[in-house]
Amino acid sequence: MLKPNKLANNNFLSSLDLSTDEVFHILDLAINFKNKKISVDLNNKVLGLIFDKSSTRTRVSFQVAMSRLGGTTIDLNPTTSQIGRGEPIKDTARVLSRYCDVIAIRTFEHSNLEEYAKWSTKPVINALTDLEHPCQALADFLTIYEEFLDFKDVVLTFIGDGNNVANSLILCGALLGVEVRIACPKGYEPDALIIKRANEIYKDKNLLKITDDPYKAVSGANVLYTDVWSSMGEENFKEKKDKDFKGFTIDKELLGNASKNAIVLHCLPAYRSKEITDEVIEGERSRIFDQAENRLHVQQALLSCLL
Ligand code: CP
Ligand code: NVA
């Protein structure tokens, strides 16, 4: 029976904390958890959750994952804990390390997550920062794998803001050798360092393409992906971004220009009629709710490799 391997890296802060083999191992484990072909007992281990931003899927999938594995979670609300008072991260991290066995953190600056990891003696997981959302990318590639049973001929086109979700898709896509295309308005490209790291992994095979033409980007693509145009923390830019992203909506017409077998993904939550139409979310090519479910199976796989 398949058994979880320990990851070489103690933390999961970035998609790049995993090797290609480790990504495949986590996906494999996740499929086995999903099919109830594996059972792991985390024996009362405790996951601490810190959410400086809102969350439904990440919070609940981590809680249910821990519960299914025989462990428990503590959800630290920054406003009712001393975190909101501004207790230094280095103090919180050292204290929580003495109570918890693993900590998942959703916060703003990626450097704050790195500060937690620096001071924590227990594994730290990125539950989303402004820079990356690596747990999401694992669930996304699991959903893609379930559809195509291979990554060989996958062309993944992300249409929208070059944000945290796009960054992690790029890095995880590079590890898996998947062609990734990003269609975004000029000025909203993904992080330059992320692009550089991905190209190094691809070894200049030119499998990462950035364009401001959504129609060009979806031609021949079999996965269309989008996310909100304004992420959490960007509320003040909403009006401007809504204007700048005009023409970047995944609608029936854009989907019609992709491959016939194309599926549609969205990490959720969505603004229907902005980055994606209601019709496409509810349409037959959407795998969006399978993708959300897969967060749970991937979380179980990840936790069982870290603990
Ligand atoms: N996709 C995702 O991370 O959703 P939540 O913000 O609800 O956790
Ligand atoms: N890019 C979005 C993802 C939400 C899951 C955000 O950061 O708000």
Cα(168) to ligand 1 centroid in Å equals 14
- Give yes or no: residues 197 and 105 share one domain: no
Q: Label residue 2 by pLDDT band (50, 70, 90).
A: confident
Is 276 part of any domain? yes
- Give yes or no: residues 117 and 182 share one domain: no
8-state DSSP, 85: T
- Give yes or no: residues 82 and 192 share one domain: no
- Give yes or no: residues 209 and 80 share one domain: no
pLDDT in tens, 80-123: 899 988 999 999 999 999 999 999 999 999 999 999 999 999 99
- Give yes or no: residues 47 and 113 share one domain: yes
- What's 170's domain CATH number? 3.40.50.1370
Q: pLDDT value at position 70?
A: 97
> What number of residues does the chain have?
307
CA 24/CA 150 separation, integer angstroms: 11
Is 2 part of any domain? no
Q: pLDDT value at position 89?
A: 97
Q: pLDDT value at position 78?
A: 86
- Give yes or no: residues 47 and 152 share one domain: no
Q: Label residue 204 by pLDDT band (50, 70, 90).
A: confident
Would you say the C-alpha torsion 148, 149, 155, 157 has a positive or negative sign?
Answer: positive
Q: Label residue 185 by pLDDT band (50, 70, 90).
A: very high
Sequence-distant (6+) residues with CB within 8 A of 281 are 264, 266, 270, 272, 288
pLDDT of 52 above 80: yes
Give me the mean pLDDT over the 187-191 stretch: 98
Is 60 part of any domain? yes
Is 187 part of any domain? yes
pLDDT in tens, 216-226: 999 999 999 99
Is 6 part of any domain? no
- Give yes or no: residues 287 and 236 share one domain: yes
Looking at per-residue confidence, does 78 or 186 come out higher? 186
- Give yes or no: residues 43 and 151 share one domain: no
For ligand 1, is residue 210 a contact (CB within 6 Å)? no
What value does the CA radius of gyration of the chain take, rounded to a whole number of Å? 19
Ligand nearest to the CA of 62: 1
Residues with CB under 6 Å of ligand 2 are: 128, 163-165, 227-228, 231-232, 267
pLDDT in tens, 148-177: 999 999 999 999 999 999 999 999 999 999
Q: pLDDT value at position 271?
A: 96
Cβ proximity of 154 and 172 under 8 Å: no
For ligand 1, is residue 300 a contact (CB within 6 Å)? no
Give me the mean pLDDT over the 286-294 stretch: 98
CA 218/CA 209 separation, integer angstroms: 11
Give the 3-state secondary structure of residue 157.
strand
The verdict on whether 106 is a catalytic residue reads yes
Q: Which domain holds residue 285?
A: 137-292
pLDDT of 77 above 90: no
Atom of ligand 2 nearest to the CA of 128: 7
- Give yes or no: residues 256 and 150 share one domain: yes
Q: Which listed residue (172, 267, 287, 291) is catalytic?
A: 267
Give the 3-state secondary structure of residue 156.
strand
The CA angle 201-149-225, to the nearest 5 degrees, is 65
For ligand 1, is residue 56 a contact (CB within 6 Å)? yes
Q: pLDDT value at position 152?
A: 93
Cα(203) to ligand 1 centroid in Å equals 32
- Give yes or no: residues 107 and 145 share one domain: no
Give me the mean pLDDT over the 27-34 stretch: 98
pLDDT of 141 above 80: yes
The verdict on whether 85 is a catalytic residue reads no
Ligand nearest to the CA of 266: 1
- Give yes or no: residues 144 and 279 share one domain: yes
- Give yes or no: residues 115 and 143 share one domain: no
Task: Please state the domain count of the chain.
Answer: 2
Cβ proximity of 159 and 250 under 8 Å: yes
Ligand nearest to the CA of 158: 2
